[in-house]
């Protein structure tokens, strides 16, 4: 965008300069002027000469004592009518205003660094390690530490935003960090690819997604309470659809809270954990005991290799995960990382009710709500793992994200500025078309101008050789001469353009407009 602004500025400056070069012949043909003024008008494409011409032409400028001592103002009468400084001032304002407008464009289309739109380069890419929940040294060898880490990640994700998957398809919200997507009966997460050197700055949403879904059965609880057997274990007398009553162990309960119990054994599949969920009444918000038997499944990673090329078997394992890793994630809401005496087959977590925890709602829960909490906790634990958990580096890929750039355009101001620039150019062009035909326009060659100024040098003769411009203009022979760009009538019918001289203001001939015809 900087190049575009520079190009526009150079084009505008070049156009205005070209207009000035063309208009100067019309100005020189309008009236007799002194040699100094004639020289300034010849260089009117230079703004410094326009400024000097404006100052010299201002009425009363020589009455200021300090300005009177300036060499090019000293002892020089005011040359030209009042409109000359006005015209010069307007031309300066047009040029300066045009450049200010071009410079202002960059204020309203800034190019800012963007992490939302990264660029891709060749290099290493960091992804979440789907084989390891606990990054501590030696922890991967201890299953209990893996269970505790999975539960901790889920707790950390309690306040992660949950967005409808339909809304995400429209707004691409999952490209942001720590976003959980909610669908019809499942929760989903889209993994992020990271730059290993700047994992939280250079991030891009990948094509890899993973889903968790739960299915539960709700049981009726006899007596609306728990019972204690001879061994001191608590259990619920429960039945499904008023069928046969059965004892279901509930190792812990909290009044008004929800207890989640997960089994170590894979009874429902290699990537599934079965859970017992119990809510105990407190006679305030919860008036009935609720018991659910659930299966929670963490699916395989979808499009696991879509962001990479030439992956090894080891890469595939770490990117897509293992069944054991998935089973731990599926039961994350219930794991503690330790087993109580006499309870080696399962672990449990009891969450406080009455608003103490999101995973223990302060009201009577139902089957749909329990299924949603189960799958959300599992996906939340993966989202937290992907955000700040153990990472795996995929080597030599073409999808390494680096800092991108984003163009932010304020179209209201941009269109207003561009419209103003167009109006300036159009106005200058109209001025050119209106006045440029007042005289023959010479080309920009210095030889053409030299031939036009030859009469001045002829009058100086040999005495003019080697003189500077200021010395020529102050030479006694031409100092009091007034000149004008005009033409002489020739007998052959072809008029000749050249300089017209007048020795003093009273002897200036009456100005004639350039007539249609051919000039040599």
106-127: average pLDDT = 81
213 forms beta bridges with 297
Q: Is the pLDDT of residue 497 over 70?
A: no
Q: Is residue 283 part of a domain?
A: yes
Instruction: Taking residues 252-280, report their average pLDDT.
Output: 92
- What pLDDT sits at residue 431? 82
Q: What confidence score (pLDDT) does residue 141 get?
A: 53
Q: How is residue 25 written in tokens?
A: 């012949």
pLDDT band at 78 (very low <50, low <70, confident <90, very high): low
Residue 342 and residue 423 in one domain: no
pLDDT value for 162: 93
Angle ∠(432,437,443) on CA atoms, nearest 5:
85
Ramachandran bin of 493, using left for φ above 0, alpha for ψ from -120 to 50, beta for the remaining angles:
left
Top pLDDT among 123 and 511 is at 123
Higher pLDDT, 179 or 344: 179
Structure confidence at residue 383 (pLDDT) = 96
Q: Where are the beta strands (DSSP E) in 353-439?
A: 391-407
DSSP category for residue 464: G
* Domain finish residue from 365, 386, 405: 405
Give the model's pLDDT for residue 135.
75
> Is 269 part of any domain?
yes
Distance CA 165, CA 183 (A): 6
Question: What's the CA gap between 163 and 425, in Å, rounded?
Answer: 52
* Position 494 confidence tier, pLDDT thresholds 50, 70, 90: very low
Average pLDDT (244-256) is: 89
Domain end residue (candidates: 355, 386, 405): 405
Structural domain count of the chain: 2
| Separation CA 389–CA 153 (nearest Å) | 8
pLDDT digits 0-9 by tens, 55-69: 877 776 666 666 666
Report the pLDDT value the prediction gives residue 64, as an integer from 0 to 100.
Answer: 67
Same domain, 277 and 344: yes
429-453 pLDDT, tens per residue? 888 788 776 667 777 788 888 888 8
Domain final position from 381, 405, 429: 405
| Position 338 confidence tier, pLDDT thresholds 50, 70, 90 | confident
Query: Would you report the helix, strand and coil content of the chain in percent, each value rounded to 5?
Result: 40, 25, 35
What does the pLDDT average to over 215-236?
Answer: 88
For residue 512, what pLDDT is reported? 54
- pLDDT band of residue 22 (cuts 50, 70, 90) is confident
Distance of CA 198 to the CA centre of its chain: 19
Q: Helix 367-388 and helix 323-330: axis angle, to 10°?
A: 130
Is 350 domain-assigned? yes
Longest dimension (CA), the chain: 140
The answer to whether residues 74 and 208 belong to one domain is: no
Q: Are residues 126 and 100 in the same domain?
A: no
Contact 439, 514 (CB under 8 A): yes
Q: What is the pLDDT of residue 519?
A: 53
For residues 186 and 228, membership in a common domain is answered with yes
Q: Supply the range of the domain harboring residue 466.
A: 2-109+409-507
Q: What percent of the chain has pLDDT over 70?
A: 84
- Based on its alpha-carbon atoms, the radius of gyration of the chain, rounded to whole angstroms, reads 44
Is the per-residue pLDDT at 508 higher than 70? no
The yes-or-no verdict on residue 213 having pLDDT over 90 is yes
Instruction: Please tell me whether residues 50 and 98 are part of one structural domain.
Output: yes
Residues 374 and 438 placed together within one structural domain of the fold: no
Domain membership flag for residue 518: no
Within a domain: residue 279?
yes
The mean pLDDT value for 309-316 works out to: 92
Flag the least confident range among 109-123, 199-213, 271-285: 109-123
Helical packing angle, 83-108 and 2-28, nearest 10°: 170
CB 345 within 8 A of CB 358: no
Determine which of 8-17, 53-62, 361-370, 459-468 has the lowest per-residue pLDDT on average: 53-62
How much of the chain, in percent, has pLDDT values that exceed 90? 32
Please provide the average confidence, as pLDDT, over all residues in the chain. Answer: 83
In a domain, 513, yes or no: no
Given a cut of 70, whether residue 70 has pLDDT beyond it is no
> Strand, helix or coil at 163?
strand
pLDDT at residue 272 is higher than 90: yes
Stronger pLDDT, 450 or 517, i.e. the higher one: 450
Q: Is residue 417 part of a domain?
A: yes
Residues 118 and 253 in one domain: yes
192 pLDDT higher than 60:
yes
Residue 11 above 90 pLDDT?
no
For the cut 80, the answer to whether the pLDDT of residue 474 exceeds it is no
Say whether pLDDT at 214 is over 90.
yes
Distance of CA 260 to the CA centre of its chain: 45
Same domain (yes/no): 293, 384:
yes
pLDDT of 280 reads: 92
Residues 129, 87, single domain; the answer is: no
Pair 25, 145 in one domain: no
State whether 280 and 371 are in the same domain. yes
pLDDT digits (tens, 9 = 90+) for 355-384: 778 999 989 999 999 999 999 999 999 999
Give residue 322's pLDDT band: very low, low, confident or very high (50, 70, 90).
very high
User: Averaging pLDDT over each range in 260-269, 338-347, 509-518, which range is the top one?
Assistant: 260-269
Say yes or no to pLDDT of 491 above 80: no
Q: Assign 87 a pLDDT band (cuts: 50, 70, 90).
A: confident
DSSP 8-state class, residue 495: B
Q: What is the pLDDT of residue 76?
A: 57
Report residue 507's pLDDT band, with 50, 70 and 90 as the boundaries: very low
Examine residue 254 and state whether it is found in any structural domain, yes or no: yes
What pLDDT score was predicted for residue 317?
Answer: 93
For position 294, what pLDDT does the model report?
Answer: 97
């Amino acid at each position: 965008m900087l190049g575009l602004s520079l190009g526009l500025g150079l084009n505008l400056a070049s156009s205005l300069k070209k207009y000035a070069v063309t208009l100067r012949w019309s100005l020189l043909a309008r009236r007799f002027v002194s040699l100094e003024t004639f020289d300034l008008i010849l260089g009117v494409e230079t703004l410094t000469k326009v400024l000097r011409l404006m100052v010299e032409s201002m009425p009363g400028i020589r009455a200021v004592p300090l300005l009177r001592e300036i060499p090019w103002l000293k002892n020089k009468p005011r040359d030209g009518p009042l409109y000359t400084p006005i015209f010069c001032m307007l031309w300066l304002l047009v040029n300066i205003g045009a450049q200010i407008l071009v410079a202002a464009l960059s204020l309203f289309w800034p190019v800012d660094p963007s992490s939302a739109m990264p660029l891709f380069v060749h290099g290493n890419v960091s992804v979440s390690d789907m084989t390891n929940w606990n990054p501590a040294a030696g922890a991967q060898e201890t299953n209990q530490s893996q269970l505790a880490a999975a539960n901790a990640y889920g707790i950390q994700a309690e306040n992660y935003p949950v967005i409808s998957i339909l809304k995400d398809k429209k707004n691409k919200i999952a490209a942001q960090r720590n976003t959980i997507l909610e669908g019809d009966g499942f929760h989903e997460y889209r993994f992020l690819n990271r730059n290993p050197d700047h994992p939280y700055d250079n991030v891009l949403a990948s094509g890899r997604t993973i889903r968790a879904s739960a299915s539960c059965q709700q049981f009726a609880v006899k007596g609306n309470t728990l019972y204690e057997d001879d061994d001191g274990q608590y259990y619920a007398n429960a039945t499904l659809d008023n069928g046969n009553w059965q004892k279901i162990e509930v190792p812990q309960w909290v009044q008004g809270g929800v207890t989640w119990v997960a089994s170590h054994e894979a009874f429902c599949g290699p990537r599934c954990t079965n859970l017992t969920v119990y809510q105990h009444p407190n006679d305030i918000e919860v008036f009935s005991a609720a018991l659910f038997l659930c299966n929670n499944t963490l699916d395989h990673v979808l499009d696991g290799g879509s962001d990479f090329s030439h992956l090894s078997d080891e890469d595939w394992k770490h990117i897509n995960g293992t069944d054991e890793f998935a089973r731990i994630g599926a039961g994350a809401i219930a794991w503690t990382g330790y087993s109580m005496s006499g309870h080696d087959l399962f672990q449990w977590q009891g969450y406080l009710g009455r608003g103490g925890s999101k995973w223990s709602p302060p009201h009577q829960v139902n089957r749909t709500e329990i299924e949603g909490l189960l799958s959300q906790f599992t996906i939340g634990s993966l989202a937290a793992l992907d955000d700040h958990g153990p990472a795996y580096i995929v080597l030599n890929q073409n999808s390494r994200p680096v800092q991108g750039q984003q163009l932010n355009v304020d179209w209201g101001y941009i269109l207003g500025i561009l419209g103003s620039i167009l109006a300036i150019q159009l106005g200058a062009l109209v001025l050119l078309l209106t006045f440029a035909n007042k005289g023959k326009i010479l080309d920009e060659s210095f030889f053409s101008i030299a031939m036009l100024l030859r009469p001045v040098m002829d009058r100086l003769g040999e005495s003019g050789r080697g003189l500077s411009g200021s010395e020529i203009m102050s030479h006694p022979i031409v100092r009091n001469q007034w000149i004008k760009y005009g033409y002489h009538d020739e007998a052959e019918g072809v008029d000749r353009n050249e300089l017209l001289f007048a020795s003093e203001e009273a002897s200036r001939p009456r100005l004639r407009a350039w007539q249609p015809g051919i000039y040599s």
